[in-house]
Chains A and B, each alone.
Chain A
Amino acid sequence: MTDVSRIVGIDLGTTNSLVAYVDGAGVPRVIPDAEGRRLLPSIVAYTPNGVVVGETARRQLARHPGRTIYSVKRFMGRGWDDVRDEARHVPFEIVPSAEVVRIRIDDREVTPPEVSAHVLRALKQQAERHLGEAIEQAVITVPAYFNDAQRQATKDAGRIAGLEVLRIVNEPTAASLAYGLQRLAQGVIAVYDLGGGTFDISILRVKDGVFEVLATNGNTHLGGDDFDRALVEWLLADVRARHGVDLTADQEAVQELRLGAEAAKCRLSTEERTALTIPFEGFTYRREITRADLEPLIAPLVDATLGPCRMALADAGLAAAEIAEVVLVGGSTRVPLVRRRVEELFGKTPHSQLNPDEVVALGAAVQAQILAGGITDMLLLDVTPLSLGIETLGGIVSVLIPRNTTIPTLAKEYFTTSVDGQTAVDMHVLQGERELAKDNRSLARFDLSGIDPMPAGMPRIEVTFLIDANGILQVQSKELRTGKAASIEVKPTYGLTEEQVTQMVEDSFTHAEADVNARLLIETRTEAETVLNHVQRALAQAADLIRPDERQAIDRAVAALRAVERGTDRDAIRERTIELNQVTERLAEAMMDAALKGAVASRRADEILRER
C-alpha cells in the first residue's frame, strides 16, 4: 500500500446513514456522533443561515417542509419521468427537467447528489472527530439493483463531499461480508434487504472466503417509506371521517402524520397495538392502531418483493429449497409480515443476528479493509444487476452484457460508417431487460468522432464497454485500420457532467463554513426550545411547589431567553438557556420529590414517546 490513510465504510441510506470502520483488532464498528447516536437521519434542511443535517434537520421537517429534504436517495440518478409520481408525495418541489432532476429551495436549485453530499460530509466529520484523523477515502454502499446512473450519482455525491469513493458496493453483498466475518457459513445464501426506499434480493455462494453473487434482483422504489405512505393515507381518511377535516393539502400536518405513522409502524413490529396522539390546530387526533390495521395496508407492498425473489432464484438456477440460509437486512425487515412472507417463500426461518440497521455499514467497513490490504482472505465477486445494451436499427436493444454477469466484465462491439467521408458515429447505451430501447433506461449517448474520412463501411471502430468493480460503465474506442483512438463524448442522460461536478466541489468549499455555523445555531435554538417547553410544562403541573420569588426568577429567565431565541446570536441563546436551567433547578428538585411521593401524576407513555 502506498496510501496509509484510513478508508471508512458508509451506508448512505434512504432514511438513515451510517459510517463504520474496522478497528485495530479487525472488528468492524459503527462510528457514533458526538452525542453517541449511531444512525444519522438522511435529512438535509436548507435554512436561511445555511444547511443542517440529521437529527437537527429532522426537527425542521414539520416546520419547514418545503426546504427540508428527506428520502433524496429515491431521486438519485433519476429523470423527471421516473419521479413524477414520487414528486407528488414529497413536500419539497421537484423541478421538471429533461435531464437530471433538481429540487427547488427558494430561489435556488440543487441536485440530489448535492443533497446527499451534505449527509456524506456530516458522516465524514463524524468519523474525523471520532478517529482524530482526516478521512479522505470511502467505500459507499448502494442498492444492488441501482443502475449505472444511480451509482454514478452516488459517486458524484462522494466527490462533492470531499471523499474519494474507492468502491461502490452493493448493500446486500456488503451485509454478507459482515456476516461472513462473524461466522463463515458455507453454501448458498439469500440476502433479503428491505430498507427505507429500496428492495434488493441477492443470492450468493459462500465458499473458502469467496463471496460469489449468483444473481440479484430488486426494486429501487420500494421500501419502508411506502409503508409509511400507505399508513398516512389511511390516517388522513380516518381524520376526515372522525373530525370532518381534510388535512391532505396541509403539508405541515401531513409531515406530523408521517412522523407519527413511522413511529407507530416501528412500535407495531414488537407490539400488537399502539396509540397515536397528534395535536392539530383546533383538535387533538387520538387513534389506536393495531397490527391487524397495518397489515392489509402494506400487504401488497410486501408481496411486491416476492416476484424479484423468484426471478433471482430462476437466474441463479436454484430452487428456494436449495437456499441454505436467508439473511434479513434493512430496518423494514423488522416488520412481522415481511418475516412471515419471506419464511413462506423460502420455507425456512430467516435470521438477523446482526442489527439490520447496521450490518450494511459494517460490511462496507469490511470491504474498505479489503481494499486497504488489511484483509486478504476474503474476496467479493459481484454482478451487474441489469443487462447493458445498445440501440440498433428500429429501436431494438442489442444486449452486450447480460444481467447477473460477474463484474468486472467487458464486451466489444464493432461499428462502421454509412455515408462516404463520415467522421462521427453516435450510439445510445441502455440498461434494462426490455426488447425496445424506449422501454429501457437510457444511460448515455456517445459521440464517436475524429474518424478519418473513408468510403462508407470502411472504418472499423472497436468500442469496448467495460463494467468495473463498482458496476459503473467505462467506454473506450479505437479505429482498427488506423489504430487511432476515437474520441468519445459522453452525454449522460440523467447524470451530471464532469464540469458540473467540479463546480459543485468548489461550491461546497464556499458554503462549508456557513453550514457549520447554521448547524450550531439551530442546535442551540432547538436546545433552547426544548428547555422552554419543559419549563412551561413543569410550571403548568407544579407551580405550587415553588415560592413566588422563585417563580418570578423563572419568568424573567424565560422572557430573557425568548427575546434572543429567534435571533442569530448563538452565544446569547446558549448563555440564557444555561441561566434558565439554573433558576429552575429548585423546581426540578421539588418535582422530583413530589413524584417520589406520587403527588405528580405520571405522564402518559405516548406523550413521552412523542417527545423523543
Chain B
Amino acid sequence: MTDYFEVFGLPRKLRIDPEALQRSFYELSRRHHPDFHQGAGAEAQARALEASALVNRAYRALRDPLGRVEYLIALEEGRELREETTAKAKVPTDLLAEMLEVQEALEEAKASELTEKIAARLREERQRLQERYQAEADALVASAPEWDAAIDSGGERRALLERFKQRLAVRAYLRTVIDDLTQAIGEDDGRVAHRRH
C-alpha cells in the first residue's frame, strides 16, 4: 500500500512535529491542488486531482498521533486501511471480566425504569471508563519513542506492533461500552451514531 510517510519525505517514525507536517501539507497542496491546474490539459488536470487526493489522504492518516499508529500498523502489515476499521486484536480477558459488572448494570438499566440512582451509578462507571480510554491513548503516544528507536537501530518491531494493536483493541472496546452507557443514561442526542462513523 502507499507509504504516506514517504509522501511527506518522512521516515516511518511515530514522532512527527505537527507544525512541520502542516507546513509541508500546505506546501504540497499549493503544488498539486486542482485550483492551480485549471488551465492545464485534461491529463495534467487528472494527474493534479490524483496527486492532491493522495496528499490529503496522507495528511489525514498522519496528522493525529493515534490515527498515525493505526495507519502504521496497517502499513507494516501491508493491508489496505479503511479508515474506520480498527486493528483487529483480541480484547484481553481480564478486561472483559472486569466489564461484566458494568454490563450487568447496563442490562438492569435497560430492563427497568431509569432511576436517578441507577443513572448516577452509570455516570460514575462511564467516568471511570473514559479515564481509562484516555490512559490507553496516552500510553500509545508515550511508546512512540520506543518505536522510533527500533526504526533507528533496526531492532525488533513485531512485539511493539502487537502491543499497539492490543491497546487499540482495548480502546475500541471501551468506546463501545462508553457509548452504550451514554445511550442508557439517555444523554445521547444522536451524537453517538454520528461519532461511530
Which of A's residues lie within 8 Å of B, judged by CB? 1-3, 166-167, 207-208, 210, 212, 307, 310-311, 314, 367, 370-373, 376, 379-381, 387, 398-403, 405-412, 414, 433-435, 466, 468-469
Contact = CB atoms under 8 A, between A and B. Distances in A.
Contacts of A400: 82
Interface in B34-63: 34-36, 38-39, 49-50, 52-53, 56-57, 59-60
Contacts of A380: 35
B195 interface: yes
Interface string B22-33: 100010011001
Nearest to A466: B53
A168 B129 CA distance: 44
Contacts of B60: 405-406, 409
B29 A468 contact: no
Interface in B139-161: none
A255 to B, nearest CB: 36
Given A379-B29, A468-B49, A314 B38 contact: no
B6 interface: no
Interface stretch (B105-113, B114-122, B186-194): B186-194
A408 B39 contact: no
A2 B56 contact: no
B84 A434 contact: no
Interface of B: 22, 26, 29-30, 33-36, 38-39, 49-50, 52-53, 56-57, 59-60, 80, 82-84, 189-191, 193-197
A411 B83 CA distance: 10
A307 B189 contact: yes
B121 to A, nearest CB: 26
A402 B34 CA distance: 21
A311 B60 CA distance: 19
Nearest to A411: B82
Contact of A314 (B26, B33, B53, B195): B195
Given A387-B197, A407-B56, A409-B53, A402 B84 contact: yes
25 contacts: A3-B39, A167-B35, A210-B26, A307-B189, A314-B194, A379-B36, A380-B35, A399-B84, A400-B82, A402-B83, A402-B197, A403-B197, A405-B60, A406-B59, A407-B53, A407-B56, A408-B34, A409-B53, A409-B57, A410-B50, A435-B193, A435-B196, A466-B50, A466-B53, A469-B35
A469 B197 contact: no
Given A314-B194, A379-B33, A410-B50, 7 more contacts: A3-B39, A311-B194, A314-B195, A410-B53, A466-B50, A468-B34, A469-B33
B197 A433 contact: yes
B130 to A, nearest CB: 15
Contacts of B196: 435
B193 A409 contact: no
Contact of A408 (B30, B49, B83, B191): B49
Nearest to B41: A2
Contacts of B59: 406
A299 B33 CA distance: 42
Nearest to A307: B189
A400 B197 CA distance: 10
B88 to A, nearest CB: 16
B193 A434 contact: yes
A1 B39 contact: yes
A396 to B, nearest CB: 12
Nearest to A376: B36
A169 to B, nearest CB: 10
A433 B195 CA distance: 9
Contact of A2 (B29, B39, B195): B39
B29 A399 contact: no
Nearest to B56: A406
A43 B49 CA distance: 36
A207 B30 CA distance: 13
A370 B33 CA distance: 11
Central interface residue in B22, B82, B193, by most chain A CB within 10 Å: B82
